[in-house]
Amino acid sequence: MPSQRSPLVPRETPVLGGEGFVSADPKTLPARLEAAGFADIRIEIGDLDYRFHARKPRRH
């Protein structure tokens, strides 16, 4: 069975020397950020891209 790929991530994404690329499925990103302790999570999914915003709460 072929692997599921997000249509937002090109098959071959150019990476410059010393940089890395980790694809993240925008549908699962909010739950993953929440599990990592982030709050105020917002995500906007466009036709070819997505952007997200999340805050790490301050420790008291």
- Which sign does the torsion angle of CA 31, 35, 40, 42 carry? negative
> pLDDT by residue (tens digit) across 8-45?
555 555 656 666 666 788 889 999 999 999 999 999 99
Q: pLDDT value at position 19?
A: 66
Q: pLDDT value at position 1?
A: 46
Report which of residues 26 and 59 the model is more confident about: 26
Write the single-letter amino acid at 50.
Answer: Y
Does the reported pTM lie above 0.85? no
Q: pLDDT value at position 36?
A: 92
Q: pLDDT value at position 21?
A: 66
**Residue 20 zone, left/alpha/beta (φ > 0; ψ -120 to 50; rest):** beta
Residue 16: DSSP 8-state:
-
